[in-house]
Homo-oligomer: A and B are copies of this chain.
Amino acid sequence: MATLGDRTVIRKSDTGTGRTGVWLVGARGSVATTAVAGCAALAAGLHEPLGMITETAVFEGCRLPSIGSLVFGGHDIAEVSLCKRAEELVASGVLPHTLPGAIYRELAEADAAVRPGGPAPDDRRSDEELIADFAEDICAFVREKGLARAVVVNVASTEPILDPARKRLPVSALYAAAALRAGSPYVNFTPSTGLHHPALAEAAAASGLPYAGRDGKTGQTLLRSVLAPMFRQRALLVRAWSGTNLLGGGDGAVLAHPGAAAAKNAGKARVLADTLADVPDGRVHIDNVPALGDWKTAWDHVVFDGFLGTRMIMQALWQGCDSALAAPLVLDLARLTAAAHAAGLSGPLAELAFFFKDPEPGAPGGLADQWRALLAFAEQLRGAT
Protein backbone atom coordinates (compact mmCIF):
# COMPACT_ATOMS: atom_id res chain seq x y z
CA MET A 1 0.00 0.00 0.00
CA ALA A 2 1.78 3.14 -1.18
CA THR A 3 2.06 6.05 1.21
CA LEU A 4 0.01 8.67 -0.55
CA GLY A 5 0.39 12.40 -0.39
CA ASP A 6 -2.41 14.82 0.24
CA ARG A 7 -3.99 14.46 -3.20
CA THR A 8 -7.17 16.28 -4.00
CA VAL A 9 -10.15 13.97 -4.19
CA ILE A 10 -11.62 13.85 -7.68
CA ARG A 11 -14.37 16.44 -7.83
CA LYS A 12 -17.89 15.22 -7.72
CA SER A 13 -19.97 16.66 -10.51
CA ASP A 14 -20.73 20.29 -9.74
CA THR A 15 -24.24 20.17 -11.10
CA GLY A 16 -26.68 18.36 -8.92
CA THR A 17 -27.85 16.25 -11.84
CA GLY A 18 -26.92 12.65 -11.24
CA ARG A 19 -25.62 13.18 -7.72
CA THR A 20 -27.07 10.57 -5.36
CA GLY A 21 -27.59 11.02 -1.66
CA VAL A 22 -26.79 8.28 0.85
CA TRP A 23 -28.63 9.04 4.09
CA LEU A 24 -27.15 6.89 6.83
CA VAL A 25 -29.15 6.13 9.96
CA GLY A 26 -26.28 5.80 12.44
CA ALA A 27 -24.16 8.21 10.43
CA ARG A 28 -21.36 8.51 12.97
CA GLY A 29 -20.84 4.81 13.64
CA SER A 30 -17.91 2.67 12.47
CA VAL A 31 -19.63 1.31 9.38
CA ALA A 32 -20.83 4.74 8.27
CA THR A 33 -17.44 6.32 8.88
CA THR A 34 -15.66 3.58 6.98
CA ALA A 35 -18.13 3.87 4.10
CA VAL A 36 -17.76 7.65 3.81
CA ALA A 37 -13.97 7.63 4.17
CA GLY A 38 -13.63 4.67 1.83
CA CYS A 39 -15.87 6.20 -0.80
CA ALA A 40 -13.70 9.30 -0.80
CA ALA A 41 -10.53 7.22 -0.98
CA LEU A 42 -11.86 5.20 -3.92
CA ALA A 43 -13.08 8.31 -5.72
CA ALA A 44 -9.56 9.69 -5.32
CA GLY A 45 -8.10 6.53 -6.80
CA LEU A 46 -6.13 5.73 -3.64
CA HIS A 47 -7.22 2.08 -3.40
CA GLU A 48 -8.53 -0.74 -5.50
CA PRO A 49 -12.28 -1.16 -4.85
CA LEU A 50 -11.85 -4.43 -2.93
CA GLY A 51 -14.98 -5.81 -1.35
CA MET A 52 -17.27 -3.80 -3.64
CA ILE A 53 -19.31 -5.95 -5.93
CA THR A 54 -20.72 -3.04 -7.91
CA GLU A 55 -17.22 -2.18 -9.13
CA THR A 56 -16.72 -5.60 -10.74
CA ALA A 57 -17.43 -6.45 -14.35
CA VAL A 58 -20.77 -7.93 -13.32
CA PHE A 59 -22.34 -4.49 -13.07
CA GLU A 60 -20.82 -2.94 -16.13
CA GLY A 61 -23.41 -1.07 -18.11
CA CYS A 62 -25.90 -1.06 -15.25
CA ARG A 63 -26.11 2.72 -14.98
CA LEU A 64 -25.24 2.78 -11.31
CA PRO A 65 -24.43 6.17 -9.82
CA SER A 66 -20.65 6.57 -9.90
CA ILE A 67 -18.66 6.35 -6.70
CA GLY A 68 -17.65 9.96 -7.08
CA SER A 69 -21.28 11.10 -7.31
CA LEU A 70 -22.35 9.85 -3.87
CA VAL A 71 -23.10 12.49 -1.23
CA PHE A 72 -23.46 11.54 2.44
CA GLY A 73 -25.60 12.70 5.32
CA GLY A 74 -27.71 11.03 7.98
CA HIS A 75 -29.12 10.83 11.47
CA ASP A 76 -27.26 10.02 14.64
CA ILE A 77 -27.65 10.57 18.34
CA ALA A 78 -23.87 10.54 18.83
CA GLU A 79 -21.98 13.81 19.02
CA VAL A 80 -18.53 12.48 18.14
CA SER A 81 -17.72 13.76 14.67
CA LEU A 82 -16.98 11.54 11.68
CA CYS A 83 -13.42 12.90 11.61
CA LYS A 84 -12.85 11.92 15.22
CA ARG A 85 -14.32 8.47 14.57
CA ALA A 86 -12.05 8.11 11.54
CA GLU A 87 -9.04 8.84 13.72
CA GLU A 88 -10.12 6.09 16.09
CA LEU A 89 -10.54 3.70 13.17
CA VAL A 90 -7.07 4.59 11.92
CA ALA A 91 -5.70 3.81 15.39
CA SER A 92 -7.39 0.42 15.46
CA GLY A 93 -6.21 -0.51 11.97
CA VAL A 94 -9.60 -0.43 10.25
CA LEU A 95 -8.68 2.57 8.14
CA PRO A 96 -5.19 2.91 6.65
CA HIS A 97 -2.91 5.10 8.74
CA THR A 98 -2.03 7.15 5.70
CA LEU A 99 -5.45 8.74 5.27
CA PRO A 100 -4.82 12.01 3.46
CA GLY A 101 -6.33 15.33 4.49
CA ALA A 102 -8.69 15.35 1.52
CA ILE A 103 -10.47 12.37 3.03
CA TYR A 104 -10.91 14.25 6.28
CA ARG A 105 -12.44 17.14 4.33
CA GLU A 106 -15.02 14.73 2.85
CA LEU A 107 -15.74 13.37 6.30
CA ALA A 108 -16.23 16.88 7.64
CA GLU A 109 -18.62 17.66 4.80
CA ALA A 110 -20.67 14.53 5.55
CA ASP A 111 -20.57 15.32 9.25
CA ALA A 112 -22.02 18.75 8.61
CA ALA A 113 -24.99 17.02 6.94
CA VAL A 114 -25.75 14.86 9.99
CA ARG A 115 -28.98 15.71 11.83
CA PRO A 116 -29.87 14.72 15.39
CA GLY A 117 -31.51 11.33 15.61
CA GLY A 118 -33.84 10.38 18.33
CA PRO A 119 -35.86 10.28 20.33
CA ALA A 120 -33.91 11.25 23.45
CA PRO A 121 -35.44 9.96 26.71
CA ASP A 122 -37.11 13.32 27.41
CA ASP A 123 -38.39 13.81 23.88
CA ARG A 124 -42.12 14.57 23.94
CA ARG A 125 -42.77 14.16 20.20
CA SER A 126 -45.24 11.50 19.08
CA ASP A 127 -44.22 8.80 16.59
CA GLU A 128 -45.99 10.75 13.89
CA GLU A 129 -44.09 13.92 14.73
CA LEU A 130 -40.79 12.10 14.78
CA ILE A 131 -41.47 10.55 11.37
CA ALA A 132 -42.38 13.92 9.97
CA ASP A 133 -39.25 15.55 11.38
CA PHE A 134 -36.97 12.79 10.14
CA ALA A 135 -38.56 12.88 6.69
CA GLU A 136 -38.10 16.62 6.52
CA ASP A 137 -34.39 16.18 7.36
CA ILE A 138 -34.04 13.84 4.40
CA CYS A 139 -35.99 16.11 2.05
CA ALA A 140 -33.91 19.09 3.10
CA PHE A 141 -30.74 17.12 2.37
CA VAL A 142 -31.94 16.31 -1.14
CA ARG A 143 -33.06 19.87 -1.72
CA GLU A 144 -30.00 21.60 -0.37
CA LYS A 145 -27.48 19.33 -2.06
CA GLY A 146 -29.48 19.31 -5.30
CA LEU A 147 -29.63 15.53 -5.45
CA ALA A 148 -31.42 13.29 -7.91
CA ARG A 149 -32.50 11.17 -4.97
CA ALA A 150 -31.35 9.96 -1.57
CA VAL A 151 -31.25 6.35 -0.44
CA VAL A 152 -31.78 5.73 3.27
CA VAL A 153 -29.54 3.01 4.74
CA ASN A 154 -29.91 1.84 8.33
CA VAL A 155 -26.46 1.11 9.80
CA ALA A 156 -27.36 1.96 13.41
CA SER A 157 -26.73 -0.36 16.36
CA THR A 158 -28.92 -3.42 16.57
CA GLU A 159 -32.19 -2.80 18.41
CA PRO A 160 -33.26 -5.33 21.03
CA ILE A 161 -36.31 -7.41 20.12
CA LEU A 162 -39.21 -5.46 21.61
CA ASP A 163 -42.29 -6.47 23.46
CA PRO A 164 -44.90 -6.89 20.68
CA ALA A 165 -47.56 -5.42 22.99
CA ARG A 166 -45.69 -2.12 23.00
CA LYS A 167 -47.75 0.73 21.55
CA ARG A 168 -45.02 2.83 19.99
CA LEU A 169 -43.02 1.95 16.91
CA PRO A 170 -39.43 0.83 17.39
CA VAL A 171 -37.02 3.60 16.46
CA SER A 172 -35.76 1.77 13.39
CA ALA A 173 -39.31 1.71 12.09
CA LEU A 174 -39.65 5.46 12.59
CA TYR A 175 -36.67 6.02 10.31
CA ALA A 176 -38.03 3.55 7.77
CA ALA A 177 -41.37 5.33 7.77
CA ALA A 178 -39.55 8.63 7.31
CA ALA A 179 -37.77 7.20 4.27
CA LEU A 180 -41.09 6.24 2.70
CA ARG A 181 -42.53 9.66 3.44
CA ALA A 182 -39.48 11.36 1.91
CA GLY A 183 -39.79 9.22 -1.22
CA SER A 184 -36.48 7.50 -0.57
CA PRO A 185 -35.53 3.91 -1.34
CA TYR A 186 -34.70 2.11 1.91
CA VAL A 187 -32.06 -0.45 2.90
CA ASN A 188 -31.94 -2.13 6.29
CA PHE A 189 -28.38 -3.33 6.90
CA THR A 190 -29.19 -4.35 10.50
CA PRO A 191 -31.40 -6.98 12.15
CA SER A 192 -33.62 -4.23 13.59
CA THR A 193 -37.28 -4.05 12.59
CA GLY A 194 -37.17 -1.17 10.09
CA LEU A 195 -39.76 -1.63 7.35
CA HIS A 196 -40.67 -5.11 8.66
CA HIS A 197 -43.10 -3.61 11.15
CA PRO A 198 -46.68 -4.62 10.29
CA ALA A 199 -47.82 -1.03 10.80
CA LEU A 200 -45.70 0.01 7.82
CA ALA A 201 -46.71 -2.74 5.41
CA GLU A 202 -49.45 -0.79 3.71
CA ALA A 203 -47.41 2.40 3.36
CA ALA A 204 -44.50 0.41 1.93
CA ALA A 205 -46.71 -1.28 -0.64
CA ALA A 206 -48.31 2.03 -1.65
CA SER A 207 -45.03 3.95 -1.82
CA GLY A 208 -43.86 2.74 -5.20
CA LEU A 209 -40.34 2.66 -3.72
CA PRO A 210 -37.83 -0.16 -3.86
CA TYR A 211 -36.43 -1.47 -0.59
CA ALA A 212 -34.14 -4.22 0.62
CA GLY A 213 -33.01 -5.97 3.78
CA ARG A 214 -32.20 -7.19 6.23
CA ASP A 215 -29.01 -7.61 8.23
CA GLY A 216 -25.88 -7.46 6.12
CA LYS A 217 -24.12 -10.78 5.73
CA THR A 218 -20.46 -10.07 6.36
CA GLY A 219 -18.73 -12.96 8.07
CA GLN A 220 -19.96 -16.04 9.87
CA THR A 221 -23.30 -16.11 8.04
CA LEU A 222 -21.58 -15.53 4.72
CA LEU A 223 -19.52 -18.63 5.38
CA ARG A 224 -22.58 -20.59 6.44
CA SER A 225 -24.35 -19.65 3.24
CA VAL A 226 -21.76 -21.52 1.20
CA LEU A 227 -20.94 -24.32 3.62
CA ALA A 228 -24.50 -25.38 4.39
CA PRO A 229 -25.42 -25.94 0.71
CA MET A 230 -22.20 -27.93 0.31
CA PHE A 231 -23.24 -30.36 3.04
CA ARG A 232 -26.74 -30.56 1.61
CA GLN A 233 -25.62 -31.19 -1.95
CA ARG A 234 -23.23 -33.88 -0.79
CA ALA A 235 -26.04 -35.59 1.17
CA LEU A 236 -24.05 -35.25 4.39
CA LEU A 237 -26.29 -34.95 7.44
CA VAL A 238 -25.45 -31.95 9.61
CA ARG A 239 -26.18 -32.94 13.19
CA ALA A 240 -25.03 -29.83 15.03
CA TRP A 241 -23.78 -26.40 14.03
CA SER A 242 -22.42 -24.32 16.89
CA GLY A 243 -20.84 -20.91 16.83
CA THR A 244 -19.21 -18.30 19.00
CA ASN A 245 -18.54 -14.72 17.97
CA LEU A 246 -16.07 -12.56 19.82
CA LEU A 247 -16.06 -8.88 19.03
CA GLY A 248 -15.32 -5.55 20.62
CA GLY A 249 -16.03 -2.03 19.49
CA GLY A 250 -19.45 -0.61 20.13
CA ASP A 251 -20.99 -3.62 18.44
CA GLY A 252 -19.60 -6.08 20.95
CA ALA A 253 -21.17 -4.21 23.85
CA VAL A 254 -24.53 -3.85 22.08
CA LEU A 255 -24.73 -7.44 20.89
CA ALA A 256 -23.73 -8.89 24.24
CA HIS A 257 -27.11 -7.60 25.40
CA PRO A 258 -29.45 -10.62 25.25
CA GLY A 259 -32.23 -8.80 23.39
CA ALA A 260 -29.94 -7.60 20.63
CA ALA A 261 -28.18 -10.94 20.44
CA ALA A 262 -31.54 -12.63 19.97
CA ALA A 263 -32.32 -10.31 17.07
CA LYS A 264 -28.93 -11.00 15.51
CA ASN A 265 -29.08 -14.75 16.00
CA ALA A 266 -32.48 -15.07 14.40
CA GLY A 267 -30.89 -14.00 11.13
CA LYS A 268 -27.90 -16.25 11.58
CA ALA A 269 -30.14 -19.26 12.17
CA ARG A 270 -32.20 -18.57 9.08
CA VAL A 271 -29.52 -19.54 6.61
CA LEU A 272 -29.29 -23.03 8.11
CA ALA A 273 -33.05 -23.44 8.18
CA ASP A 274 -33.28 -22.33 4.56
CA THR A 275 -30.48 -24.45 3.15
CA LEU A 276 -30.32 -27.65 5.20
CA ALA A 277 -32.89 -30.42 5.15
CA ASP A 278 -33.25 -30.34 8.94
CA VAL A 279 -32.33 -27.59 11.35
CA PRO A 280 -29.33 -28.92 13.28
CA ASP A 281 -28.68 -28.64 17.01
CA GLY A 282 -26.35 -25.92 18.19
CA ARG A 283 -26.31 -22.47 19.66
CA VAL A 284 -24.67 -19.21 18.63
CA HIS A 285 -22.98 -17.02 21.22
CA ILE A 286 -21.99 -13.37 20.82
CA ASP A 287 -19.47 -12.16 23.41
CA ASN A 288 -18.17 -8.69 23.99
CA VAL A 289 -14.36 -8.75 24.01
CA PRO A 290 -13.29 -5.11 24.19
CA ALA A 291 -9.64 -5.95 23.48
CA LEU A 292 -10.62 -7.03 19.95
CA GLY A 293 -11.77 -3.53 19.07
CA ASP A 294 -13.35 -3.49 15.62
CA TRP A 295 -12.07 -6.98 14.88
CA LYS A 296 -14.08 -10.13 15.20
CA THR A 297 -13.25 -13.80 15.62
CA ALA A 298 -16.03 -16.19 14.71
CA TRP A 299 -15.68 -19.90 15.40
CA ASP A 300 -17.98 -22.43 13.76
CA HIS A 301 -18.08 -26.10 14.71
CA VAL A 302 -20.08 -28.48 12.54
CA VAL A 303 -20.74 -32.11 13.41
CA PHE A 304 -21.94 -34.12 10.43
CA ASP A 305 -22.61 -37.72 9.52
CA GLY A 306 -21.42 -39.36 6.35
CA PHE A 307 -21.59 -42.83 4.86
CA LEU A 308 -22.85 -45.47 7.31
CA GLY A 309 -23.21 -42.79 9.96
CA THR A 310 -19.49 -41.97 10.24
CA ARG A 311 -19.24 -38.91 12.45
CA MET A 312 -17.01 -36.07 11.17
CA ILE A 313 -16.23 -32.49 12.18
CA MET A 314 -15.54 -29.26 10.33
CA GLN A 315 -14.47 -26.06 12.01
CA ALA A 316 -14.07 -22.58 10.61
CA LEU A 317 -12.33 -19.57 12.10
CA TRP A 318 -13.08 -16.16 10.63
CA GLN A 319 -11.01 -13.19 11.72
CA GLY A 320 -12.34 -10.14 10.04
CA CYS A 321 -13.05 -6.49 10.51
CA ASP A 322 -16.78 -5.99 10.43
CA SER A 323 -16.68 -2.35 9.42
CA ALA A 324 -14.35 -3.09 6.52
CA LEU A 325 -16.59 -5.95 5.42
CA ALA A 326 -19.81 -3.99 5.79
CA ALA A 327 -18.84 -0.61 4.35
CA PRO A 328 -18.38 -1.67 0.70
CA LEU A 329 -21.67 -3.59 0.83
CA VAL A 330 -23.40 -0.44 2.11
CA LEU A 331 -22.03 1.44 -0.89
CA ASP A 332 -23.08 -1.41 -3.18
CA LEU A 333 -26.60 -1.41 -1.79
CA ALA A 334 -26.94 2.34 -1.98
CA ARG A 335 -25.93 2.30 -5.63
CA LEU A 336 -28.13 -0.67 -6.50
CA THR A 337 -31.29 0.65 -4.85
CA ALA A 338 -30.67 4.08 -6.34
CA ALA A 339 -30.42 2.48 -9.78
CA ALA A 340 -33.52 0.39 -9.10
CA HIS A 341 -35.40 3.54 -8.17
CA ALA A 342 -34.19 5.31 -11.28
CA ALA A 343 -35.32 2.32 -13.33
CA GLY A 344 -38.77 2.50 -11.83
CA LEU A 345 -38.56 -0.70 -9.79
CA SER A 346 -40.53 -0.89 -6.56
CA GLY A 347 -41.28 -3.20 -3.68
CA PRO A 348 -38.98 -5.68 -1.94
CA LEU A 349 -35.82 -6.41 -3.94
CA ALA A 350 -35.48 -10.14 -3.21
CA GLU A 351 -32.75 -10.17 -5.86
CA LEU A 352 -30.44 -8.55 -3.32
CA ALA A 353 -30.60 -11.53 -0.96
CA PHE A 354 -26.89 -12.01 -1.69
CA PHE A 355 -26.20 -9.19 0.76
CA PHE A 356 -28.40 -10.24 3.66
CA LYS A 357 -28.69 -12.73 6.49
CA ASP A 358 -32.45 -12.54 6.56
CA PRO A 359 -33.55 -11.63 3.05
CA GLU A 360 -37.02 -10.91 1.73
CA PRO A 361 -39.37 -13.91 1.80
CA GLY A 362 -38.99 -16.23 -1.13
CA ALA A 363 -35.37 -15.39 -1.73
CA PRO A 364 -32.96 -18.31 -2.04
CA GLY A 365 -30.90 -19.18 1.06
CA GLY A 366 -27.61 -20.40 -0.42
CA LEU A 367 -25.04 -17.90 -1.64
CA ALA A 368 -24.71 -19.49 -5.07
CA ASP A 369 -28.41 -19.11 -5.84
CA GLN A 370 -28.36 -15.61 -4.43
CA TRP A 371 -25.44 -14.82 -6.71
CA ARG A 372 -27.38 -15.97 -9.74
CA ALA A 373 -30.32 -13.83 -8.67
CA LEU A 374 -27.95 -10.90 -8.42
CA LEU A 375 -26.59 -11.55 -11.92
CA ALA A 376 -30.17 -11.58 -13.22
CA PHE A 377 -30.81 -8.31 -11.43
CA ALA A 378 -27.76 -6.77 -13.10
CA GLU A 379 -29.15 -7.95 -16.43
CA GLN A 380 -32.49 -6.35 -15.60
CA LEU A 381 -30.81 -3.03 -14.74
CA ARG A 382 -28.82 -3.16 -17.97
CA GLY A 383 -32.02 -3.69 -19.92
CA ALA A 384 -34.00 -0.93 -18.21
CA THR A 385 -34.18 2.19 -20.37
- Name A's B-contacting residues (CB within 8 A): 1, 3, 34, 38, 41, 47-53, 55-56, 90-91, 93-98, 222-223, 226-227, 229-230, 233-237, 239-240, 242, 244, 246, 281-283, 285, 287-292, 297, 299, 301, 303, 305-321, 324-325, 327-328, 354, 366-369, 371
Q: Are B368's CB and A308's CB within 8 A?
A: no
Given A242-B287, A281-B289, A314-B318, 15 additional A-B pairs, CB 8 A: A38-B308, A47-B309, A51-B234, A53-B233, A226-B229, A226-B230, A233-B354, A239-B291, A244-B299, A308-B324, A312-B320, A312-B325, A316-B317, A366-B368, A367-B368
Considering the chains assembled together, what is the distance between the CA atoms of A307 and B192 in angstroms? Answer: 25
Our pick among B55, B242, B312 for the contact of A235 (Cβ within 8 Å) is B55
Q: Are B311's CB and A291's CB within 8 A?
A: yes
Q: Are A312's CB and B321's CB within 8 A?
A: yes
CB distance from A36 to the nearest CB of B (A): 12
Interface centre among A97, A226, A308 (most CB of B within 10 A): A308
Considering the chains assembled together, what is the distance between the CA atoms of A281 and B214 in angstroms? Answer: 31
Q: Are B324's CB and A306's CB within 8 A?
A: yes
Our pick among B96, B240, B297 for the contact of A309 (Cβ within 8 Å) is B96
Residues of B within 8 A of A291 (CB): 239-240, 281, 303, 305, 311
